Amino acid sequence: MRAAELFIEKKLDERRLAGNYRALKPESTLVDFCSNDYLGFAHSAVLKSKIDNEVKISGLISNGATGSRLLSGNSNYTDELEKYIALVHKSEAGLIFNSGYDANLGLFSSLPHRGDTIITDELIHASIIDGARLSYANRYIFKHNDLQGLEDKLKQAKGNCYVAIESVYSMDGDTPPIGEILKLTHKYNANLIVDEAHAVGLYGFGLIDEHLQNQVFARIVTFGKALGCHGAIVLGSNLLREYLINFARPFIYTTAAPVHQMAAIKMAYQFLKQSLTEIEMLRNNISLFKQKIKNNSTYPLIKSDSAIQCVVLKSNEKAKAVATDLQNNGLDVRAIVSPTVPIGGERIRICLHSFNTAEEIILLTNIINELINVG
């Protein structure tokens, strides 16, 4: 065997031994308690027909974009869509990326430079960590939602300083004290960047409303979660948009998404404006879950008001065993194991949706309550 293959085998064996080997699973037919499709948009026949109609009436006939947006891949439709989305979010401008991962990678790798500082919450998404790593800036991490910890790091910051948070954290589902964090970033002349990936949907177009948006340096909104599509936008000033077009490598060196994907995004935005009933149904399901789940001091429920609810089971084995039990009962709940979460933080992560029925949620909570009480 070649040395490279020996290396691969060793790394995979280490993963198996640690109980965190990753493998692709076939499509699930179980009740969805794990996807980001919070409002059911990804499978909505009504939205699908709106998208088909939009593609037809707008004459979006190409199958592929044919190149990077800086070469042959741009379209008037995409330019207009960026203006429309910026308007919806009350932002001066926006730039669409092929995914949320690309958006964060592009923003955080290109903007902070050597001598600058990036400060992130310890639970920040991997795409921001990866972007920050590519930037050569100084990097600091503060304890989750810890204002004192953030202030300590702000005091040490040099150069231009960027603070990154999520408005709903993807792993814990909780929301940071955004107002307090903004006050601190103002005090230390730092720039706040907020990833709204999991806030859009339950909280309409996000938690950074018109009062806050002028004070935030940039926002990232992803289209692959509650909007049921794919892609993302960085919202900010015209200047920032021009900068990213010039320097963000995940924007520059990639084929643009096909224009029918843009039609899907536009229709999903319009659909969200009309989806007050679905948002209400999601809120009711979150309340029902929280009402029925018993908090257990050994295996605590992480405090969250969002569609993401986690029971911490403290080991890969326990998290996987509980997830398997739930799956055997027809409920698609996934274990989140280390190293995705820190050791001791292994959990089952439940994503609630507008389309989950009360019966499904009661079955889910009954089984979890029983499994974690028997130890």
Ligand X SMILES: Cc1ncc(COP(=O)(O)O)c(C=O)c1O
CB of 25 to ligand X, least distance (A): 17
CB of 99 to ligand X, least distance (A): 4
CB of 131 to ligand X, least distance (A): 10
Q: Compare residues 100 and 236 and give the one whose CB is closer to ligand X.
A: 100
Q: Contact, 345 vs 338, CB < 8 A?
A: yes
Q: Where are the alpha helices (DSSP H) in the chain?
A: 3-18, 45-57, 76-88, 100-110, 126-133, 147-156, 178-187, 210-213, 238-247, 249-252, 259-273, 276-292, 316-328, 358-373
**What is the β-pairing status of strands 308-312 and 347-351?**
antiparallel
CB of 187 to ligand X, least distance (A): 26
Strand partners, 118: 139, 162
Q: Compare residues 18 and 126 and give the one whose CB is closer to ligand X.
A: 126
H or E element, residue 330: none
CB of 312 to ligand X, least distance (A): 19
CB of 18 to ligand X, least distance (A): 22
CB of 100 to ligand X, least distance (A): 2
Q: Compare residues 110 and 365 and give the one whose CB is closer to ligand X.
A: 110
Q: How many beta carbons lie within 10 A of that of residue 299, not counting itself?
A: 20
CB of 222 to ligand X, least distance (A): 4
Residue of 323, 318, 331 whose CA lies nearest to 359: 331
Strand partners, 94: 235
The sign of the dihedral angle between the CA atoms of 206, 232, 334, 168 is negative
CB of 10 to ligand X, least distance (A): 28
Residue of 268, 255, 216, 243 whose CA lies nearest to 95: 243
The sign of the dihedral angle between the CA atoms of 211, 216, 222, 223 is positive
Longest CA–CA separation in the chain, Å: 61
Positions that interact with ligand X (CB under 6 A): 99-101, 104, 125, 127, 166, 170, 195, 197, 222, 224, 232
Q: Compare residues 97 and 355 and give the one whose CB is closer to ligand X.
A: 97
Q: Compare residues 197 and 310 and give the one whose CB is closer to ligand X.
A: 197
Name the residue with the smallest CB distance to ligand X: 100
Residue 226, burial from CB neighbour count under 10 angstroms (0-12, 13-18, 19+)? buried
Q: Compare residues 127 and 285 and give the one whose CB is closer to ligand X.
A: 127
Q: Cα–Cα distance between 86 and 56 in angstroms, integer?
A: 24
Q: Contact, 229 vs 96, CB < 8 A?
A: no
Q: How far is CA 230 from the centre of its chain?
A: 12
Q: Compare residues 81 and 367 and give the one whose CB is closer to ligand X.
A: 81
Q: Compare residues 106 and 372 and give the one whose CB is closer to ligand X.
A: 106
Q: Cα–Cα distance between 90 and 192 in angstroms, integer?
A: 17
Q: Compare residues 320 and 349 and give the one whose CB is closer to ligand X.
A: 349
The crossing angle, in degrees rounded to 10, of helices 276-292 and 358-373 is 30
